[in-house]
Amino acid sequence: MNESLTIALDVMGGDRGPDVVLAAALRVLKKRDDLNLLLVGDRDIIESKLAAMSNADRRRLPVQHASQCVDMDELPSHALRFKKDSSMRVAIDMVKQGRAQACVSAGNTGALMATARYVLKTLPGIDRPAICTSLPTITGHTWMLDLGANIDSSPEHLFQFALMGTELAKAVDGNAHPKIGLLNIGEEEIKGNETVKEAANLISRGDLNYCGFIEGDDVYSGKVDVVVCDGFIGNIALKTSEGVAKMISHFMRREFSRNIFTKTAGLVALPVLKAFRRRIDPRRYNGASLLGLRGTVIKSHGGTDALGFASAIEVAAVVVKQQVPEHISSHLQAILAERKAV
């Protein structure tokens, strides 16, 4: 039998609140018997909602009360200072205290990052945690970081992102040598700013599988397994991608609903269009890792549904089981020791 894990869930976080988180928890427990889910939030609300769910296995759904809630647009500094009993903070505290091995939150990203960093601290040698998620590609998927935790990253930070992304890809995909690409505005060595050039130098010196610069269109081509970039760039690239996908699906719906003929065509094509949508369903890729911390914290998209939040819980389970933080730490120490020796 598998060793049982406990994952703390920030029940009050996200745009859609407890209903989505609780439905996701039930969905995950039904599928796997190696997890307990520690529900963190307003006990009364959680208990009353659970009571209405006939199929809830209460032994595997312990509750930890938290009296506050971090707002989606709250300043991280404000949350850190005045929300010490928020569901988000208490969920992270559970990880710190060893009562959970990971936590998952759909709440305010900035507050989650600031709180996780304050409570758990970064791994030795890691300056800044980074946000990393997987994205679909033509050939499978790729990992991209940083997605917004850090702006104005230095070459050393980008090197740390490359190493952290490598360990995540190794752990989740079982890929022994994930290919790393550094996001830039040209594949030629001459292009790009000084930061990415210096980062390329740092990343290529270690034992990482560095494959050079990639341009934006290669994020989705499957050319590399890990895409490394500053958080400002990564966030804009990710959000722009969401924008394109939304626009494309908008136009597709509009063309198919134009008249009776196109509607009929749409009915005929429906199963195909559904299969297509499943392929790029963002819920399947939900669950971004906050890498570089002494513990596992997973950020779910704020507006996701139960299926999406369940994906994020699964990501948390994999990251813990594969000991990603431990691997990041030992790999980093090895490279730093080698650098010193040279």
Phi, psi of 298, rounded to the nearest 5 degrees: -120, 130
Minimum Å gap between C-beta 314 and a copy of itself is 23
Is 302 a residue that touches a copy of itself (CB under 8 A)?
no
Of the candidate spans 59-67, 88-96, 229-237, 297-305, the one that interacts with a copy of itself by CB under 8 A turns out to be 229-237
Q: How far apart are CA 235 and CA 149, in angstroms?
A: 9
The number of CA neighbours under 13 Å toward the Cβ of 178 is 26
Q: Using the minimum distance from each CB to a copy of itself, give the nearer residue, 103 or 233.
A: 233
Phi, psi of 102, rounded to the nearest 5 degrees: -160, 165
**Given candidates 280, 282, 321, 322, which one binds a copy of itself under the rule CB under 8 A?**
280
Q: Using the minimum distance from each CB to a copy of itself, give the nearer residue, 218 or 314.
A: 218
Q: Which amino acid is at 324?
A: V
Minimum Å gap between C-beta 162 and a copy of itself is 17
Say which residues have a Cβ less than 8 Å from residue 227's Cβ, sequence separation at least 6. Answer: 142, 143, 144, 145, 165, 181, 183, 214, 219, 234
Minimum Å gap between C-beta 209 and a copy of itself is 21
**Given candidates 244, 337, 341, 342, which one binds a copy of itself under the rule CB under 8 A?**
244
Is 190 a residue that touches a copy of itself (CB under 8 A)?
yes
Q: Using the minimum distance from each CB to a copy of itself, give the nearer residue, 107 or 206.
A: 107
Of the candidate spans 33-41, 85-93, 186-194, 310-318, the one that interacts with a copy of itself by CB under 8 A turns out to be 186-194
Q: How far apart are CA 89 and CA 119, in angstroms?
A: 8
Q: How far apart are CA 246 and CA 252, in angstroms?
A: 10
Q: Using the minimum distance from each CB to a copy of itself, give the nearer residue, 205 or 256.
A: 256
**C-alpha angle with apex 340: 335 to 342, nearest 5 degrees?**
95
Omega before 71 cis (within 30°)?
A: no
Minimum Å gap between C-beta 287 and a copy of itself is 19
Label the pairing between strands 226-228 and 179-183: parallel
Minimum Å gap between C-beta 181 and a copy of itself is 12
Is 221 a residue that touches a copy of itself (CB under 8 A)?
yes
DSSP letters, 253-290, are: HHHHTSSHHHHHHHHHHHHHHHHHHHHT-GGGG--EEE
**Given candidates 62, 216, 282, 302, which one binds a copy of itself under the rule CB under 8 A?**
216
Is 44 a residue that touches a copy of itself (CB under 8 A)?
no
DSSP letters, 26-48, are: HHHHHH-SSEEEEEEE-HHHHHH
Site string for a copy of itself, 70-99 (x = CB under 8 A): ---x-x------------------------
The position carrying tokens 């032994």 is 59
Q: Which residues contact a copy of itself by CB under 8 A?
A: 73, 75, 110, 136-138, 148, 151-152, 183, 185, 188, 190-193, 215-221, 229, 231-233, 235-248, 250-252, 255-256, 258, 262, 264-266, 268-269, 271-273, 275-276, 279-280
